[in-house]
Structure formats: structure tokens, C-alpha cells
Structure 1
Amino acid sequence: MAGSSLPRRALGRTLRRYRERAEKSQLAAGIAAEISPQSISRLEDGQKIRIATSQIKDLLELYQVADSAEREEVLGLWREVKDQDQAARTAGTVKGWWRSYSDQYVAHFDHYLSLEAAANHLTTHQLTLLPGLLQIPDYRRVMIRTASPELSLVDIERRVELSARRQERLQDRTFRMDILLSEAVLHSRPGGSDVMSRQLSHLAAVSEQPNITIRVVPLDVESPLWLMVQSFTLLEFPPLATRVIEPPVVYVEGYEGALYLEQDEAIARYRQALTDIQRLALSEEETRALVRTMAKEYAA
């Protein structure tokens, strides 16, 4: 998980919980650790700051964390953060492999790529377009040109290359992906019938992988819920080495930005929406048959 933000997020969340339990301000925490309140805020948000083990222990003293199990929870997370940083430096991926493409995506997408790289289960519901992890190069090129017609050919190909690098996750059998698609996605034709025929053939082939499920929601289903929740992605993560469970995140992308939802209530609502959408969707076999039939029709 070199480059992952998960251990830092877990450490920050835990420290915030103990600070609030002790009814201490970020200003008081900053004074105790001899850093700024802004640094405490970044630490609690899971961002990288310069801090030593002794300063972490100073925070635990301020927060009156005397229980041995609680102290070990924090110090274990801190060790994992340091181990991950060392592994990233050794692998040459201190900033995450995707950062070399940072000139090719909007700022908020950096956080998503960090989460995607760390996730072991991704569930996505899409109303209009195929998710990036499933797009063939020609389909992707059409999307890029449509969104950014001013881009040079070089930049277009760099974005296609970024997409291809992301898709390497699909070959990892410990990574699971469940895709729920509106039938409208199959009827749209970015790039024309030839591109869509090849895209759907790829979709059918990918659906054969044991770690990937693809199901289509027919346009004529009666429930409107699948339309009301719009497109979103639920990311879930493996336990950290300290056995801490990192909470899932719902990612909702918009035309001008994105939402990252972590609150228990929000996650529960989206899980219920997924349950309802799955109830409406075709089976994997029915979906595969439909996709192959439409691929042949586009090729005709």
C-alpha cells in the first residue's frame, strides 16, 4: 500500500477522537506538540506533516490516553505510517505512481486515485458512462476530447496512459469490483458504432473475470431510486497491519468537483441504495448476453 493515505487517515481519526474526548482544542494540542494548530488539523485529516514519535507521545499525554491498549493503537498506527513511508521511498513511490500524471487531472482526483489504489473492493453505480477502469483507449479518447477539446495529442495520450495504468488493478485477484450500469450506458455511442462495438466486447470479456461482476439495470424498471441517487462509487479497504478497519468512502463526482462521504449515516444510505439497485438489475449472465448482443448489433 505504498503511497496509500489509509494509515495516516486512521491515525488522524484516532487522535482526533482522543483529543475531543479529552476536550482539548487544536491550539492546546499544537502547544503540547510544539507545532501549529494548522498542523494538528492536517494531521487529523490524514495529511502528511513533519512530526516525531516523541511529539505523538506528547499528544497522548495531553489527551490523557493512559490505557495501554489505546496507546498501542495509536503507536501501532504511527509505526505503520513510518513503515509505509520507508517502503514508498524504497520503491520510489513516495508520492504515488499517479502523481507523475498530476498535470493531467483536476486536483480533487488525486485523493480519489489514492483511495482507489488502496481499496480492495470497489462498487460503482453509473447512469451515463462506463467507469474509467473499464474504458478501452478509443472510448477514453472520445471522453477526453469532449471534456477538453483544447488538449494536445500528447496530453490526450498521457491521459489514456493514466487510465491504462489504473486498469492494472483489475488483474489483482485480491481486488474486487462490482459494477451496476444503467442500460442507457450501453445505448450511448461515444465515437460511433465501431468504438462502441469494441467497447462492449471488452466489457463482456472483463465480466468473465472472477473478481469482477457487471450487471445492467434495464431502462423499464419501475423504481426510480436508481435514478435519484445518480452515479457514485463505494470504496472499501482491507484491515491495516494494526487490525484497524478503515471506514469506507463514497465518491460522488460532479462536473465542477467531487464529494467524499465518510459519515456512517451517508454510507448506510448508499449501501441501502445499492441493495435496491441490485434487486432491479439483470443477473450477470443476462447482462453478459445483452452486452454481447448489442456489441454484434453495433458491429453490423
Structure 2
Amino acid sequence: MRARSGPTLEHRVVAEQLRLARERAGCGLAAVAAALDLSEATVRRIERAETALDAGQVRDLLKYYKHPEADARRIRASLARANEPGWWHRWRDVLPAWQRDVLGIESSAGVIRLWHPALVPDLLRTADYAAAVEAVRHPQAPPAVRARRTEFLRARQERFRERGAVLWGLIPEAALCTCVGSPDVMREQLDALRLATAHPNITLQVMPLTAGPHALTGAPPLELLRLPVPEVPDHAVVGGPGGEATLTHDRDTVSAYRMLMDSACGAAPAAGAELPALYRW
């Protein structure tokens, strides 16, 4: 049984397919709920992937809709794959619920755009830089727990590289001037960023200290996720206090954040420009 976490891309696709199947069958939410002894709210939550998708319920829904059996089998097979443990399952003991929600979508995103107002975004951090951030954010956590969180981040970065997803990061130069860990850690981090810019799927822009206010000035950490399937809209991950974040797929909200990101990137030096020569490190 898959550990309960946020819906994956596959769950959201199945949920959307169920909604479309109901509409094609000409069935209203109330009628479906009455026929299958469910509440109308439950049917609505199933179609929004806001509750665990039960294989029996999905089978009963498709049967009630008289959905073509060949297509119904494909949907059931997709659900079975979605219910398998996520790649992050081995780290579930150190992952908060909000992060499992994000991973279900981020792990399938084709394009990831990142902004952080004060630090190097996590997908671009070295292990030592990430460990230093963990030590500041979670000083009371046992060292073994912090080490596992850093190990998880490295696995997350490796999965991103293996998938060949596109990453576009915007970093304020101030983040590169902030000593996280030690000068040695910062030198290693800057070298890693320079190497990252040579990767064809990674684009990095640095907002200079001399730049004026821009669209993301004062904005929290932001991650925009573009999914490779038409059934699922783009998502935004908006950072909060203590490193926590909120995942949203509200179209107006995501569109507003995308426009802010576009504007800020347009105000930064062109992608591919040399990283600032920070001689202090």
C-alpha cells in the first residue's frame, strides 16, 4: 500500500479522466452520489484528487458511467501505478506532509522555475550548503535527522537530472554574498553554480546588487511547475516561514506568479552571463 501523501501527477490525471467520463455519460454529481451511496462532496473531491483514489470506487464509477472497458482498464492500470510508493518513500519519516504534496507534482514536472530571495534555491545547493541551511532552520533536530534531510535533497537533485527536466533559476546576488556555512562552503557552492550553467537544461540568472526593485522584490521563495500533460494545470509552490511551503494549482494565482517571474527575469542580466566575481570567498 502506498504511504498516504499528496496526489501525484498520475492521480490528478486519473481524477480528471473520471470527471470527463461522468460528463460524457451525462451524469450529475448528485445522481452519481445517490447511485453509489456516496456524498456529493466525496464525488467532487475524487474528481479533484483531494482524497485518496480507491480502486474499488474508481471501478464502480467507471461501471456506472458505462465507460468503454478498454479505456476503463487503462485508467485502472494508471491508478495502480500511481498508488505504488513514491521514490521518496524511504525518507518519509523526515518529510513534512506539505513536502510530500509538492513531490507528487515536482517529480513529474517538465519545466521548473525557481526564485529565492536570500539563498541558493534548494535544487541547486551543494550538500554542505544544504546541511548548513538545515542546521540554522532546525537547530533542535538530531544531527541524524538533519543528515537524512540533506541526503534526501541530494536524491531529489539526482532524480531531477535523470529526468532531463528543464530548470530556470533566478537568484539575487545578495544570496551569493551571504556566507552560509563557511567561506569554503561558499566557494564550493559558487563553483557548483558555474558548472550548472554549462548544463543544457539549466538556465541561471543573477539579479545584481545594483539593480533596483523588481517584480519579485520582497516575494517569498517561489517554484513554478509546468506539467507535461494537458489534464493537469501548472502549479506554484510558495514558500513560508521556516522553510515550509504551500502548493497551489489555482489558475489565477499561478498565472499571477508566472507574470511576476517573467517580469523579474526580464529585469535581470541575460541568461548565460558570468556569475559575479565574489572575491571575498
The answer to whether TM tops 0.5 is yes
| Cα drift, residue 87 of structure 1 | 4.6
5+ residue gaps, structure 1? 62-70
Aligned CA distance change for structure 1 residues 177 and 34 (closer, same or farther; 3 Å): same
Matches within 5 A, 1:36-47: 37=40, 39-46=42-49, 47=52
Q: TM-score, normalised by structure 1?
A: 0.79
Alpha-carbon shift at residue 154 of structure 1 (Å): 1.8
Contact persistence 1:181–1:215 (CA under 8 A): yes
Which residue in the other structure is 1:218 paired with?
A: 208
Question: Conserved in 1, the CA contact under 8 Å of 2:101 and 2:247?
Answer: no
After TM superposition, list the pairs within 5 Å mapping 1:199-210 onto structure 2.
199-210=189-200
Once residues 59 and 165 of structure 1 are traced to their aligned partners in structure 2, the CA distance between those partners, rounded to angstroms, is 42
Count of paired positions: 273
SS of corresponding position for 1:273 = helix
Q: 1:11 Cα deviation (Å)?
A: 3.2
Q: Render the CA deviation track for 1:69-102: whole Å, top value 9, x for unaligned.
A: xx67x984x555433455568xxxx120212211
Aligned 8 A contact 1:7 1:81 in 2: no
Q: Percent identity?
A: 24
Deviates most, 78-87 or 257-266: 78-87
* Structure 1 range deviating more: 208-217 or 269-278: 269-278
Partner of 1:129: 119
Partner of 1:60 in structure 2? 65
Select which of 243, 248, 253 maps to 2:234.
248
Post-superposition CA distance 1:154-201 (Å, at most 9, x none): 212211110110011342363100001111211111112111111111
Give the Cα separation in 2 of the matches to 1:88 and 1:45. 15
Deviates more, 1:144-153 or 1:179-188: 144-153
1: CA distance, partners of 2:250 / 2:70: 25
TM-score (norm 2): 0.84
1:225 maps to a residue whose letter is A
**Alpha-carbon distance change, 289 to 192 in structure 1, aligned in 2, over 3 angstroms:** same
Higher mean Cα deviation, 173-182 or 9-18?
9-18
Partner of 1:66: none
Runs of 4+ in 1 over 6 A off after TM superposition: 17-23
**C-alpha contact (below 8 Å) 1:43/1:49 kept by paired residues:** no
Q: Which runs of no fewer than 5 residues in structure 2 stay unpaired?
A: none
Name the structure 2 match of 1:164: 154
3-state SS of the aligned residue for 1:276? helix
Change beyond 3 A, Cα 1:58–1:189:
same
Amino acid of the structure 2 residue aligned with 1:216: V
